[in-house]
Amino acid sequence: MALPDPLSGPFSDPHALTRRRALTAFAAAGGVALAVTATQSAATSPSSVAAGDLAPDVALPESPVGQRLSDLRGRLVYLDFWASWCTPCRLSFPWMGELQKRHGGRGLQVVAVNLDVRRADADAFLARHPAGIAVAFDPRGVSAEAFGVRAMPTSVLIGPDRRVLAVHRGFRLEDAPALEAKVVAALPGR
């Protein structure tokens, strides 16, 4: 399967900004997972990873915790795909930072993979919403393609053996307790 063109792919289409903002506002208001693009059909979308699958060993460019997902083998990984235009991401970032603080010492590593084509957009978001977590940058969307990401944000809980434990699309504050319960239940040495 061909990877999306970084200048016209589903995560970077500058002409779709208005559509994305409208979809983001809809998702934030209704708590519905945000479709990355309205034009990407199920027939052309890669299959999403599911619980039990081996997580793809994607690159984590510029990540301070490793250059590939396999560098984190042995740790519980909360991998989050996000973009600067994603309204629910503004809510998830502080929560992920707290999650890392509470459980990092017990083997959790939160990694947020940014999918913006323009690094300046990601940097501006991070200046307004400090991460407190490891951030990787994937402007071509290769990692999102490998995971079959179709909503923003999408998070994948990955066990120490790189098996997918859970996938969650979208984010609402009401989701946080159930998501954290999954993390706590999967922590090594529990």
- Which residue has better confidence, 131 or 25? 131
Q: Are 100 and 35 in contact (CB under 8 A)?
A: no
* Residues whose CB falls within 8 Å of the CB of residue 118, separated by 6 or more in sequence, listed in order: 139
Please count the other Cβ atoms lying within 10 Å of the Cβ belonging to residue 57. 13
pLDDT average, residue stretch 158-185: 97
Per-residue pLDDT at 12 exceeds 50: no
Residue 11 has pLDDT above 90, yes or no: no
**Hey, what are 107's tokens?**
């083997």
Q: How far apart are CA 21 and CA 159, in angstroms?
A: 33
| DSSP 8-class letter at 59 | B
Q: Which neighbouring-strand residues pair with 22?
A: none
Per-residue pLDDT at 92 exceeds 70 = yes
C-alpha pair distances (Å), 65 with each of 21, 100, 109, 162, 180: 31, 13, 8, 16, 21
Provide, rounded to the nearest whole percent, the portion of the chain with pLDDT above 70: 75
Domains of the chain, by residue range, sit at: 14-35+47-186
Architecture of domain 14-35+47-186: 3-Layer(aba) Sandwich (3.40)
pTM: 0.77
